Chain A
Amino acid sequence: MTLILPYAREDGGNPPSLYPDYRSTVLRSPRQPPLLVPPTLTEVTGPAGNWERLIGPAMTDLTTQHKGTPQGQRIVVTGRVLDERGRPVPNTIVEIWQANAAGRYIHSKDDWPAPLDPNFTGAGRVVTDEEGNYRYVTIRPGAYPWGNHKNAWRPAHIHLSLLGPAFATRLVTQMYFPDDPLIEIDPIANAVPLPFRQRLVSRFDIGTTVPNWALGYRFDIVLKGREQTPFEDDHDD
């Protein structure tokens, strides 16, 4: 008999799968409700601790990956990865990708007429320390237009991917910036109901800001928490 400590299910702050204002969800969202299944060893395990071997070493400074310095506003983004009980999630990987300062991705399918920056790729990854802290240096990304509707613009954002301790805790999300008027009219951000949407908005922080060098933003990432009581007791006797 194996003891299974399950993870919480998703809370009310998550977006629905179908959000018609975000047009791509119309043909891509499942129409059947997801099937509730009991947690098994498969869902409560994950490749924790093997990041470097799997994915490679950390890349925590996105401004020093090429010969020159990228264009744009240098920023530091820091915070903690926690579970929903407020406990740190140590030694977990945060993968990062984003557009450059002009709002252009280095991706061949992104072809809007904003300049590419030869000194900026926009990909990074960082592993949390024992207290769940992470920190990386990058360039503040620009907003960019997209084809969802006429004159649609994504607010400036950084894409984030976390695996957490288990298959059940997998999370892909986006971090937004304070005082961005585009958040209020963006269908992807708006798929998250208020007030929970505000969980995706980072905070400018003078304490994180490095004098004469970079503005600082704080953003904590909260993963599903683990229950304290086992899903099944050992009744194998």
Chain B
Amino acid sequence: MMIDELERRDAAPRHDNQDPALFGQTPSQTVGPFFHYGLPWKGGADLVGRSDLGARPDLMPPEHYLLGTSGVTGTPQGEAIEIAGCIYDGNGAPIPDAMVELWQANAAGRYASPDDGRQEIELDPHFIGFGRSATDKEGVFRFRTIRPGRVPGPGNSLQAPHIALSIFGRGLLKRLATRLYFADGEGNDTDPILALVPEERRRTLIAVRRPDHTWWLDVHLQGPDETVFFDL
């Protein structure tokens, strides 16, 4: 009997994660500087072909690179594009230990998500629309993807083509959510989200095409050119 009682004994309840009185959203914490062997897989930033884009295998011994490789299964429909940019801190210094994630619709404007129920628009079997890129030594993120189609917005509006971005890094206690639009995007002038952005700050969301055809969008975490981040 004594033994049974001992086996049933548990540590005293604490004011901790399991306390029902504290139940609620788990608070965000920084990714810190050492996420590279845990998050950005090879090909994570290439949504179009099979490459190693996105990962930083230079930051760990090869036998400790356990992350996956590209899951691209074939060529997706649409216009293949390259998007890139540099992430800057408040002193204008590039941030070489940040990470960017991308979420977007396919070329036809459909999200590969069970929550996009618009059956009339086809899914692309070769396109999921999620990607991850660690910044390189120069603070630059880079993705190869498909130019997204337009998706509906609030009311009867139609959003201009855009890509949702999340920024993570040491010193960022929370994910920063922003968007990338295209300088020549159809409907930029009537986009319901861009319309909420003060006019003088809209350019922080609009990628411009460089001579090498890369769509370029710098991200400024602070300063006069501070990027517009969203409260979702």
Interface residues of A (CB under 8 A from B): 1-2, 4, 7-11, 13-17, 19, 22, 24-50, 53-57, 59, 65-66, 79, 84, 86, 95-97, 99, 105-110, 118, 121-123, 159, 161, 165-168, 170-175, 178, 188-189, 191-192, 195-207, 218-224, 231-232, 236
Contact = CB atoms under 8 A, between A and B. Distances in A.
Interface of B: 9-11, 13-19, 22-39, 41, 44, 58-61, 63-64, 66-69, 71, 73, 89-91, 93, 95, 97, 101, 103, 105, 111-118, 128-130, 151-156, 159, 162, 164, 166, 168-177, 179, 192-193, 196-197, 221-222, 226-232
Contacts of B155: 232
Contact of A14 (B19, B25, B33, B228): B25
A109 B68 contact: no
Contact of B156 (A1, A33, A55): A1
A200 B27 contact: yes
Given A30-B221, A45-B113, A46-B103, 20 more contacts: A1-B156, A17-B173, A22-B171, A36-B231, A41-B111, A47-B103, A47-B112, A47-B128, A53-B73, A57-B68, A95-B39, A108-B59, A109-B33, A167-B166, A167-B232, A178-B14, A188-B30, A189-B29, A199-B17, A206-B11
A188 B38 CA distance: 20
Nearest to B153: A40
A45 B115 contact: yes
List the 6 closest pairs (A to B, CB-CB), nearest first.
Answer: A56-B68, A97-B38, A24-B171, A45-B113, A28-B171, A34-B231
Contacts of A222: 23-26
Contact of B18 (A45, A220, A236): A220
A198 B222 CA distance: 30
Nearest to B9: A206
Contact of B10 (A49, A159, A205): A205
B205 to A, nearest CB: 10
A200 B16 CA distance: 7
A35 to B, nearest CB: 5
Given A41-B152, A54-B71, A196-B24, A30 B171 contact: no
Contacts of B36: 107
Q: Which of B27, B28, B34 has the most CB of A within 10 A?
A: B27
Contact of B37 (A8, A32, A121, A207): A121
A51 to B, nearest CB: 10
B10 A46 contact: no
Given A56-B41, A196-B27, A25 B173 contact: yes
B45 to A, nearest CB: 12
Given A36-B231, A170-B166, A203-B14, A110 B34 contact: yes
Nearest to A226: B115
A32 B28 CA distance: 19
Q: Which of B34, B44, B130 has the most CB of A within 10 A?
A: B34
B28 A171 contact: yes
9 contacts: A1-B152, A17-B174, A30-B221, A39-B232, A40-B192, A56-B67, A108-B58, A159-B29, A161-B38
Contacts of A10: 25, 28, 174, 231
A37 B178 CA distance: 11
Contacts of A197: 27
Nearest to B96: A109
A112 to B, nearest CB: 12
Contacts of B226: 30-32
Given A24-B170, A41-B151, A203-B14, A11 B113 contact: no
B15 A2 contact: no
A172 B19 contact: no
B61 A106 contact: yes
A31 B22 CA distance: 30
B38 A47 contact: no
B221 A45 contact: no
